Chains A and B, each alone.
Chain A
Amino acid sequence: MNDASGAPHRLIGIATPLLLLLAWELAGDFSIIDVRFFPPPSRIAHQIGVLFASGELVSNTLASLRRLALGMLLGGVPALLLGLAMGISRPLRAAIDPLVSATYPIPKSAILPLVLLIFGLGEMSKVVMVALGAFYPILINTVLGVVNLDRIYLDVGHNFRAGKWQVFRTIALPGALPSIMAGVKLAAGMGLILIAISEMVAANDGIGFMIWNAWQVLTVDTMYVGLLLIAVLGFIFSVVLDEIERRLIPWKSNA
């Protein structure tokens, strides 16, 4: 897509959601839709103000973000290390691949009761849920990144007498980085899904709790605020991760 056609497309991209919001607002005003289920954007905006003033919005968001960050670390770091090791070592790959293939398809949400049983109702169970969600995409993408690395780079490493650790640090890790970043992006999305689910079931704060609590006391406006919040977080994550990728992998961009 060139610039000449890009600018109008971007305008359309902004105009479409704005028009939809306007249609929604008007449909509410003219009672075309039931505002008990579909509160108009103005009421949702008002509710954002209310929740912000009471501090609920910030405290719930921070609670979720904290669990997300800890969970991403807890799941991501081991996934990265194991993935690199599996990528380099064929025997290790042979040993662990079947385990990964067998456990990966289990919906992480289905493991929630077990996680609650093992880790209790405290913070740890939510962190572990996010960790489980982050672990697989990062592991799988890291292994792929190393395995798909052009063999010639490993030959160069061996020819220059790079030791195991040096090959790891100077070839396997940077070479797999683009693929690893793709895994991290998937993991962030998965983390958001899982934090919402686990907070609905077993938490006293967080965005998931906020949504579930709103359902129980039937404050529909707050539900929408929660959904909006998750959408905004997802968008921010992707912008931040794109920026990290740009700095971490300068050789990829043709800027």
Chain B
Amino acid sequence: MPAIHVVKETSEPFQKDIQISLSGVRKYFGRSGFVALDGISIDIPKGEFFVIVGPSGCGKTTLLRILAGLELQSEGRVDISQFESSRPANSMIFQGDSLFPWMSVYDNAAYGLRMRHVDRAEIAETVRVWLERIGLWRFRDLYPHQLSGGMRQRVSIVRAFTNDPEILLMDEPFSALDEQNKVLLHEELLRIWEATKKTVVFITHSVEEAVTLGDRIMVMTATPGRAKAVIDVPLARPRSVLELRQNPVFGDLVVHIWEQLRDEVLRARQSENGRVS
């Protein structure tokens, strides 16, 4: 499958700044010694959209939580470079509903800035710009339970973007949405990401989603989680979600990654069956 190994046609310098560097990261849990991650090593340059795909239970969420500082690796090194000390290192967009039900859309979107004690006028301006950009400004006074699932997820994207972190960590943010909403949100995410060029680590179990969004894709093995392959996505940017689908390179990549993934999904299923019987 030669299409996959095409070097990206960009004019970026050869030696890019590394934002995230993992070497030999392992994570095991509790006394059982269950190994969730087994020696992950990868460098993620600044400004890259890095996607991790893997079967469920492969430890990809654990990896993201380690990057977010919500969990500590058991072994190995995690180096995260911060290029501007004035900005937060990372913000996470969680899987499922993570908006605070007791805060309005506006207050949810302003949360990160408030925690950093940014001054009021600046918060008001930033939140307004972002809510307008994603078409939710007129819903600013509503509470999350008054919004649809798609709108809620857009608010949580805004909550992360207003905080203006160097790194965005996204944990299957669209997995609960229907297909139409997902396509729209992919368009939206690509649009606002193009404008900011943040480093992104994006987790998904959807191969199409990975190819649509990512610069590079890491395929993980089933339990314990290891890096099975890292694949470049040679698709030009800015990308249009629908045009991508007609691109033969897109189809080839999806098939190629699926082949990598299929064995792992089968293995994950077998080990689940083994646990049941």
Contact = CB atoms under 8 A, between A and B. Distances in A.
A156 B115 contact: no
A171 B88 CA distance: 20
Contacts of B111: 156, 160, 170
Contact of B116 (A156, A161, A251): A161
Contacts of A163: 115
B102 A161 contact: no
A175 interface: yes
B98 A156 contact: yes
A250 B142 CA distance: 10
B115 A160 contact: yes
B143 A153 contact: no
Given A175-B102, A251-B101, A251-B144, A156 B94 contact: yes
Contacts of A250: 143
Given A174-B100, A249-B102, A160 B69 contact: no
Interface residues of A, number: 21
A161 to B, nearest CB: 6
Nearest to A250: B143
B101 A152 contact: no
A170 B69 CA distance: 20
A161 B69 CA distance: 10
Interface in A176-227: 177
B90 interface: yes
> Dominant SS at the B interface?
loop
Contact of A158 (B69, B88, B96): B69
Contacts of B145: 251, 254
A166 B94 CA distance: 20
A157 B90 CA distance: 13
A31 interface: no
A156 B95 CA distance: 11
Contact of A162 (B102, B103, B115, B143): B115
A159 interface: yes
Interface in A51-83: none
Interface in B209-252: none
A177 B97 CA distance: 19
A153 B92 CA distance: 12
Contacts of A251: 101-103, 143-145
Interface in A79-126: none
A179 to B, nearest CB: 12
Contacts of B90: 159
B68 interface: yes
Contacts of B55: none
Given A170-B111, A251-B143, A251-B145, A159 B91 contact: yes
B163 interface: yes
Contact of B68 (A157, A159, A170, A171): A159
Query: Which of A156, A159, A161, A166: most chain B CB closer than 10 A?
Result: A159
Contacts of B69: 158-159
B54 interface: no
Interface of A: 152-153, 155-163, 166, 170-171, 174-175, 177, 249-251, 254
Given A170-B114, A175-B100, 8 more contacts: A152-B96, A155-B92, A156-B94, A156-B111, A159-B92, A163-B115, A170-B111, A251-B144
24 contacts: A152-B94, A152-B97, A152-B98, A155-B98, A156-B92, A156-B100, A159-B69, A159-B90, A159-B91, A160-B88, A160-B91, A160-B115, A161-B115, A162-B115, A170-B100, A170-B114, A174-B102, A174-B103, A249-B102, A250-B143, A251-B101, A251-B103, A251-B145, A254-B145
Which 8 residue pairs of A and B lie closest in terms of their CB atoms, listed nearest first? Answer: A174-B102, A251-B143, A160-B112, A159-B92, A162-B115, A160-B115, A152-B98, A251-B101
